[in-house]
Amino acid sequence: RGNKRRMHGGGLYGRGRRRRAERPARGGLLTRVVLLAPLVVVCTRALRIVVTNDDGFETTNIQRLASSLIRAGHDVILSAPYAQQSGRSGSVKFLEPIAPTAAPSPGGAVAAGSPGVGPTGLQAQQFYVDGTPAMACLYGVDVLAPATWGAFPDLVISGPNEGDNMGLATAHSGTVGAAVTALGKGIPAIALSAEDQNGPKSDIAAGVVAAITVKLVAALAETTTTPPSSDGGDDDGGGTAPALLGGLPRGVGLNVNIPAFDANATADDVSFRVTDVGAASNFGLRFYENLADSPEAVAYYAGGDDPGALDGFPGVSIVSAGTPDFVAAGYVADASPWAETNAIATATAAGALEVAVSPMRSTFDATAALDAGWCLPGSLAAVCRPPTTSFPGSSSSSSCGNTNKRAPSSASVGTLAAAVAVGFAVGVAVAVVAGRALLVASNCRPEHGDHHKLPPRVMLWGADDDPDDDYDGVGGGDGIIL
């Protein structure tokens, strides 16, 4: 198992590199963007959080994170897989009853023959699911949260993963898959990964990762807004619609990667950089007719089973960036300095401890191509989406304090005016400080045109009014509920 963590890091490509960054100086200035928003009182608030992962409920990382979030004042439900589920992406077992467990849990907390879903026995409000990360997330969101809070959670955190999940890796990561499952329901979600910290200091490292996460969550909670209810009014906080966390549009979450750090590092040593997921990655995938031809597969089995057992058997293996096998697998380099893999590598080389924070969608929308006016060949006479379309409820202001801002739309001005009028009518003095930048030392990705912005629309809970969706104006077909 230790060798597996070293090779895979709990995520598909999450191998913990042995590179160690020097303790960095604290970087960046406190960046705040002050915006007006309707009827929002910004304050540090306790959140209802579902925590899951793909490494299993007994891992040090998830246990330390859950405890740290509780100490910070949040209400936490842990709903995680029974055992290691790396590389499962968003897979689920449809229409299959979850049978009793066939073996004890890896850490021995739950015996063989136990129900396939149940309490861990480790702490209150902690549960396991003998299934994939997405299934564990669904159990927390669909069953545990309504039973405990009478509502969906304010936030889902998937992780911390034992290894990074960046660039190409995100499509196959169980950590990311669980977070995307929550985003599909309109629930804010963070996929959290930390470069592997094996050895005697792993528990200390888990504590630092948890402290960094608590710091990030506190900053996002400062800019949490109350969403509209399904009947058009403002939700009173007791409904089922989760809050809009950190000023992110509905259906947009964060892929967060924490690099390796030395034994003396603390949460106060980190800075944050807003990045792109990008295509740059430390690892890729390749199918081998003979797994014995894969250096990674041979190294993986070297610590246990006989490497010779691979000879003559086909299978999929990992290929490391910068190797001939990576190039032979067809991967093309992404040299963008804002790709999260490259941003972390650059910061680490400079001796800085910088956390990459990348917005991600719940779907595989390619808005860059659509905004640029891509369409099918003219011979097909297809109906094409107009380029740079502004959909109802769009929000195009910069969240990183750039000076290249658009003028607010008339709809936005009208909404603000109405909100102010209502506020004064009820005699409530509302101090509105909805900062869309993290209230931590952060560096924001500069704007390079509309196609690099977050999707220009806000998806309301239960509906997506974009007429160009492939469900003809409806955000999706059949949903999944556990």
Catalytic pick from 105, 193, 294, 398? 193
CA distance 126 to 148: 12
Contact 42, 222 (CB under 8 A): yes
CA distance 474 to 443: 36
Count CB neighbours of 67 within 10 A. Answer: 15
Residues 176, 181, 182, 185: is their CA dihedral positive or negative? positive
CA distance 264 to 208: 10
Q: CB burial class (10 A; 0-12, 13-18, 19+) of residue 30?
A: exposed
Count of alpha carbons within 13 angstroms of residue 319, beta-carbon side: 21
CA distance 66 to 54: 15
CA distance 2 to 8: 10
* 267 alpha carbon, distance to own chain's centre: 19
In this structure, the dihedral spanned by the alpha carbons of residues 431, 70, 356 and 443, taken in order and rounded to 10 degrees, is 30
Q: How many helices and strands (H and E) does the chain possess?
A: 11, 12
| Amino acid in the structure at residue 433 | V
193 catalytic? Reply is yes
**Tokens encoding 341:** 């893999």
Active site members? 193
